[in-house]
Amino acid sequence: MELKKSPDANLEKKRVPLIIIGLLFSTALVLVAFEWKAFETEIKDLGELELDLIEEEIIPISQQQPPPPPPPPAPTTVIEIVEDEEEIEEELVIEDLEVDEETEIEFIEEVAEEVVEEQIFTIVEEMPSFPGGEAALMKYLGKNIKYPAIAKDAGIQGTVYVTFVVDESGAVKDTKVLRSIGGGCDEEAIRVVENMPKWSPGKQRGKSVKVQYNLPIRFTLR
């Protein structure tokens, strides 16, 4: 007699799904096992961590010197304001001066010193004169005047007018050129006049006075 299996009890149909489920389950177990080992390794590695502590270099703080104290303020002048109604203790003492007809008033007259400037005359009763007269003067000029080389080379000739003062003693002073021709003739004329001997002073009312004298000096090429 043959045994017959019911179709529901036949396991051949469920063979493939069971194999697949087994494979998935075994794969899951393998993955869990690997993950567990890796986690333990990480924990062990964390336990062996070594930290190198680097000592921080301490930098000394530079001490700044405090600034010098400010100079003391200048003393201020205290001005006391006095109200109009306040009375001032200090009183001005005014002397009572009575002036009547009999009172004599002294006037002090200041005498100003008069500065008398010596007058310089141009025309006097007796004019100053060169020792020996005009002929001696012309001879002196002709003997002492040296024709300047610059004027000679440039052909300069003419008359230089010189003015000077003969004082009370007859000395020649304040020599100046009134009219110039240049070429060194002016300087030569002044030199000769200043080296003159003393003149006879001019006189006014019998008294020797200062007299201004004008003298023409001719420069002629020959």
Please say whether the structural domain 120-219 has been given the CATH code 3.40.50.
no
Name the token pair of 167.
Answer: 């004082």
Q: Which of 7-16, 126-135, 139-148 has the lowest mean pLDDT?
A: 7-16
State the pLDDT at residue 70. 77
State the pLDDT at residue 69. 77
Strands 207-219 and 120-121: parallel
> Is 128 or 2 the better-scoring residue by pLDDT?
128
Rounded-to-integer distance, Cα 199 and Cα 56, Å: 112
Does pLDDT of 25 surpass 50? Answer: yes
Rounded-to-integer distance, Cα 209 and Cα 36, Å: 148
Does pLDDT of 98 surpass 80? Answer: no
Rounded-to-integer distance, Cα 150 and Cα 141, Å: 20
The band of 59, judged by pLDDT with boundaries at 50, 70 and 90, is low
State the pLDDT at residue 163. 95
> Is 35 or 104 the better-scoring residue by pLDDT?
35
Does pLDDT of 17 surpass 70? Answer: yes
- What's this model's pTM, rounded to 2 decimal places? 0.47
Write the pLDDT tens digit of every residue in 148-179: 999 999 999 999 999 999 999 999 999 999 99
* Count of CA atoms in the C-beta half-sphere (13 A) of 1: 0
3-state secondary structure of 17: helix
Nearest to 159 by CA among 174, 133, 178: 178
- Percent of the chain clearing pLDDT 70 (strictly above): 60
- Output the average pLDDT for the chain: 76
Contact (Cβ atoms closer than 8 angstroms) between residue 102 and residue 191:
no
- DSSP alpha helix (H) spans, the chain: 15-47, 133-144, 149-154, 185-194
Nearest to 148 by CA among 172, 181, 179: 181
